[in-house]
Structure 1
Amino acid sequence: MALTPISITSIPGFSFGHYTDLDAATGCTAIVAREGATGGVDVRGAAPASRETDLLRPENTVEQVHAVILSGGSAYGLEAASGAARELEEHGIGLDVGVGRVPIVCSSCLFDLGLGRSDVRPSSASGILAVRDALSRSASDPLAEGSVGAGTGATVGKLAGPERSMKAGLGARAFQLGELQMGAVSAVNAVGNVVDPATLAPIAGMRAASDSMEVLDMEEAMISMASQMTMPLDRTNTTISCIVTNATLSKAQATKIAQMAADAYAHTIRPTHTSNDGDTIYVLASGALDAAASAAYPIDLMGLVATRALEAAICAGCTTAEGLFGLPSYQDTVA
């Protein structure tokens, strides 16, 4: 049985859409589960901006999530989830509470206020447009990557300040193993560098100088700076991700997969899970692959496939990003 790349939009039960504001260098991305999906979450970073993560704890009673909104705008960007909820309600999507439907919308935000315009952030209207984009697309439509959606203002490699960082963005990758499908969407806005997990070669990160394209080893730089090290842009980084699968999972199983998939951050981001990152991973399971068929794939195997998908998505978030506001990207190194 081989691990085969597939389009993330081909995984049944999910729709994907973006709202992008290139002028302000911000945006948001909607992952919509029209019929609901079982959700789990893992938060490793020390500075998260999030909504409805407690609801995903296995002991809590709401079982189905209808959307995850990944957004720029720091804590202001959480407003996009409110707009997303209203738009989902307009389409009759949500938890039936007898007198209406309440869409369950989880959200996490990254800090992109240092690029573009700090006074323009994703709003309720942005969330509405991202959901509309998702609901208007078919499974054959590819999901745009790079400097789009939640990745529009994303950057990496910020130990020496923003002037020596590089542009990153949003990546989406998916794999199939037998009947199991697993995909990941990631908006990469880490304080650390992003490396190829197979070779450890740098993809994007802290440059030797503002006019250089040489990417330095940030971990070694941190050690050499030792007690003189200061962290500019405190608490202004975060890599936020959503894993989607066709499997049938419980909330506890989805949470375990999210925990295992956090290894993808350690494999690709150096350093990761710092006090200045709000790293968060959601898992949504549509159940299109029934419980009996899903049971053929152990949770540890699912976690491994999820990790592979997230590794690929994080790397793609950097390799597909275009430079913005004078900040170079990986594409400038291979031009």
Structure 2
Amino acid sequence: MRAGATNSLMDVAGLRVGHAHRAGGGFLTGTTVVLTPFEGAVAGVDVRGAAPGTRETELLDPRNLVERVHAVVLSGGSAFGLSAACGVMSRLAAAGVGYPVAGGTVPIVPAAVIFDLGRGGTFHATPDATLGTAAYDAALLREDAQGPPAPDGGPRSVAPLGEGAGAAAFQGTAAPAASGSVGAGTGAMAGGLAGGVGTASAVLPDGTTVAALAVVNAVGSVLDPHDGTLAGARYGLPGEFGHLQAPAKAETDAWRPSNTPAFNTTIGVVATDRTLTKAQCGKLAAVAHDGLARAIRPAHTMTDGDTIFALATCAQKTPDHDVFQDVLAAGADVFSRAVAHAILAATGREGAPAYLDVFPSALRKER
């Protein structure tokens, strides 16, 4: 097994990712959109948190009519942030993309949100339809914006735009394969550390691709309680997290997070290029939650809205039983790895330091 070319969700051919965010002027939030091929992707969802903020998830029940979705929106802003999906829906409708009905098309755009209200200073400074539109437009710039992967083979990280913006809100975008404090993860936190967006992919021996994008905003710890390493990094591919080591005991003993969120959520997308049914997509989303729980402890609490969508682009044939088992196993692993990349790439800020700011000895020194 190996990572795909970008170690990101875009290694599943046909998927595009766009990030848009606002920082400054009371804002510290953003939106991430995953666009499917023109004909859509078969989709499923699994909601494990007791306080979800979602839209269009009932459509993904295998008993219901619609088989394919045309985008998935992940956003900050709690329930207010669901309006970002309206901007994506408008763009898709203008492009003629959607479920065909008399007189036109209706784009199917499920969404989920994290709670990041007030983290930029203003409680109601939240994503809206305009920010959803910006994320959609950023996704269409994939070929121009992607750039090379990081030297360590992981996803590229991009610092949050808007630093030094003063009193004015600064709106910007990030490369599609970016990890860190971008898009929906701009204002995220995780167990007192800076959270964010993380991605990972795996190409199985038979050529099947499985990938994940996670927005990590958890009250639970992302650290292994025994040694302070990133719990999700245990599932890394050879060399993926080879630049890390267990931090010094003095650093782990000194770590006392002072600012953990009261409301929290980790959301994301897991995807494959195999042909799956809605029910199989639902199972893939469910198993990806295992990867979430391996990387975050505790998970799925009463104040979490943990939600994972699964997409199948159907570029490859239907898997047999054994291959589907491999897809499920990979789905859990890529989500764990995506959580680790989110934390590792996040940019620290007041009240939410970066992982390597707290544990500088975790980064191996070159010999």
Same fold (TM over 0.5): yes
Q: State the partner residue of 1:161.
A: none
- Deviation, structure 1 residue 97: 1.2
Are the counterparts in 2 of residues 154 and 168 from structure 1 also a CA contact under 8 Å?
yes
1:99 to 103, 125, 139: 103
Q: Match of 2:214, as an amino acid?
A: S
**1:180 matches 2:181:** no
Q: State the partner residue of 2:220.
A: 192
- Deviation, structure 1 residue 298: 3.0
Are the counterparts in 2 of residues 203 and 315 from structure 1 also a CA contact under 8 Å?
yes
Q: Match of 2:16, as an amino acid?
A: S
Q: State the partner residue of 1:309.
A: 334
Gaps spanning 5+ residues in structure 2: where? 147-175, 232-251, 361-367
Q: State the partner residue of 2:17.
A: 16
Q: How does 1:87-126 map to 2 (within 5 A)?
A: 87-116=91-120, 117-126=122-131
Report how many residues are paired. 305
**1:260 matches 2:264:** no
| Closer/same/farther in 2, CA of residues 105 and 42 from structure 1, 3 Å limit | same
RMSD: 2.5
| Closer/same/farther in 2, CA of residues 147 and 60 from structure 1, 3 Å limit | same
1:146 to 170, 177, 180: 180
Q: State the partner residue of 2:71.
A: 67
Q: State the partner residue of 2:156.
A: none
Q: Match of 1:247, as an amino acid?
A: R
- Whole-angstrom distance in 2 between the partners of 1:186 and 1:31: 12
**Dislocated runs of 4+, deviation >4 Å:** 231-234
**1:41 matches 2:45:** yes
Q: Deviations over 1:75-120 (max 9, x none)?
A: 0000000111001112221111131111100000000114113221
Are the counterparts in 2 of residues 257 and 299 from structure 1 also a CA contact under 8 Å?
no
Q: Match of 1:314, as an amino acid?
A: V
SS in 2 for 1:260: helix
- Whole-angstrom distance in 1 between the partners of 2:194 and 2:137: 27
Are the counterparts in 2 of residues 213 and 333 from structure 1 also a CA contact under 8 Å?
no
| Closer/same/farther in 2, CA of residues 196 and 138 from structure 1, 3 Å limit | farther
- Whole-angstrom distance in 1 between the partners of 2:302 and 2:286: 18
Q: Match of 2:323, as an amino acid?
A: P
| Closer/same/farther in 2, CA of residues 284 and 139 from structure 1, 3 Å limit | farther
| Closer/same/farther in 2, CA of residues 334 and 286 from structure 1, 3 Å limit | same
Q: Deviations over 1:210-236 (max 9, x none)?
A: xx9944699xxxxxxxxxxxx9854x2
Q: Deviations over 1:164-206 (max 9, x none)?
A: x221111011110021101100110011010359x863449xx
Q: Match of 1:14, as an amino acid?
A: L
**1:135 matches 2:108:** no
SS in 2 for 1:248: coil
Are the counterparts in 2 of residues 6 and 175 from structure 1 also a CA contact under 8 Å?
no
Q: How does 1:50-89 map to 2 (within 5 A)?
A: 50-89=54-93
| Closer/same/farther in 2, CA of residues 6 and 196 from structure 1, 3 Å limit | farther
Are the counterparts in 1 of residues 81 and 126 from structure 2 also a CA contact under 8 Å?
yes
Gaps spanning 5+ residues in structure 1: where? 158-164, 205-211, 219-230
Are the counterparts in 2 of residues 10 and 139 from structure 1 also a CA contact under 8 Å?
no
